[in-house]
Amino acid sequence: MHSGWKFVAVAALGGGLLGLSGCAKLEARNDLNKGVQAFKSAQFEAAEADFKEAIRLDPTFINAKLYLATAYQSQFVPGADSPDNMRLGQQAVQVYQDVLRQDPKNVNAVAGLAHLYFNMKDMDQARTWNLKQIALEPQNPTPHYFIGVIDWTRTFKANEDLRKQLGILTASDPLIGAPPTRKTLEACRQLAQTSMPEIEDGISQLKQAMQLRKHYANAMTYVNLLYRQKADMECGDQAARKTDLAKADEWVTKSLTARKLAAAEAAKAASGGIH
């Protein structure tokens, strides 16, 4: 049996630690609140300092970590490849990863990584994290939409690269003209092997997004764009190309209609439903 004094001593020590811990947590929350105010005022360096201090005081403080990652991400400029800019992106990635080590199913960190990798042009990672977000939030249309955009981005880039190689500089010209040459036909078929599955996946993902969000005009726009990519991947099959372009045009009309309906609903809601 353990002696009574040892039990009392341990209990007293534990109580002291709990008191100190509670004090630290309170101070951490104060620093978080200060950081949030600085963040809202776009004083990002001050906000970062406050969030870091909150994390130092309470290393388990997930909200402070999420705010710190968001502060880094808010300063990241998509498309700018400067070392300083990319460092901000990597700092945000590291903090989000830290959150996920603590809470593997933290949807805010997963969504943050999905969006951040997309803006950093790392489409493989962006796709991976959007799929993880879908697993955590199956009713959220946004990750389905972004996967569709990723599929279009990848197939458009591959098509554009091949067009440059073949000397097709006018965007409205088909990838395979009439009559097709053996060189262009073979190149197109090789590209279609990898691009067609991505195109079909993108259309499927965007349609899922539309099932989850009413009047999702942006998703409809990308379905249109993917059908235009599909038309090029028909590799000289003019009937199939014509069908794809007709579908693309249909989605342009649907997108315009959806925007009008969404605007009408927003105006009605703003007026309190009064006609």
Task: Give mean pLDDT, residues 93-104.
Answer: 98
* Same domain, yes or no: 176 and 95: no
In this structure, which long-range contacts are made by residues 85-88, counting pairs with CB atoms below 8 Å and at least 24 apart in sequence? 86/120
Q: Is the predicted pLDDT of residue 240 greater than 80, yes or no?
A: yes
pLDDT band at 180 (very low <50, low <70, confident <90, very high): confident
> What pLDDT, on the 0 to 100 scale, is given for residue 171?
84
Asked if the structure places residue 169 within a domain, the reply is yes
pLDDT digits (tens, 9 = 90+) for 120-147: 999 999 999 999 999 999 999 999 999 9
Asked if the structure places residue 2 within a domain, the reply is no
Contact call for residues 191 and 161 (beta carbons, < 8 A): no
Asked if the structure places residue 9 within a domain, the reply is no
- The stretches of the chain forming alpha helices (DSSP H) are 4-40, 44-57, 62-75, 83-102, 107-119, 123-136, 141-166, 182-212, 217-232, 238-270
Which residues, 6+ apart, have CB-to-CB distance to 230 below 8 Å? 196, 199, 244
The structural domain count of the chain equals: 2
Question: In the listed set 90, 113, 138, which residue is the last one of a domain according to the structure?
Answer: 138
* Same domain, yes or no: 148 and 256: yes
Question: In the listed set 105, 138, 171, which residue is the last one of a domain according to the structure?
Answer: 138
Asked if the structure places residue 78 within a domain, the reply is yes
- Among residues 125, 118, 120, which one has the least CA distance to residue 145? 118
pLDDT digits (tens, 9 = 90+) for 55-71: 999 999 999 999 999 99
Question: In the listed set 96, 123, 138, which residue is the last one of a domain according to the structure?
Answer: 138
Asked if the structure places residue 4 within a domain, the reply is no
Asked if the structure places residue 1 within a domain, the reply is no
CATH number of the domain to which 47 belongs: 1.25.40.10
**What pTM was estimated for this model as a whole?**
0.86
> Which residue range forms the structural domain that includes residue 202?
140-265
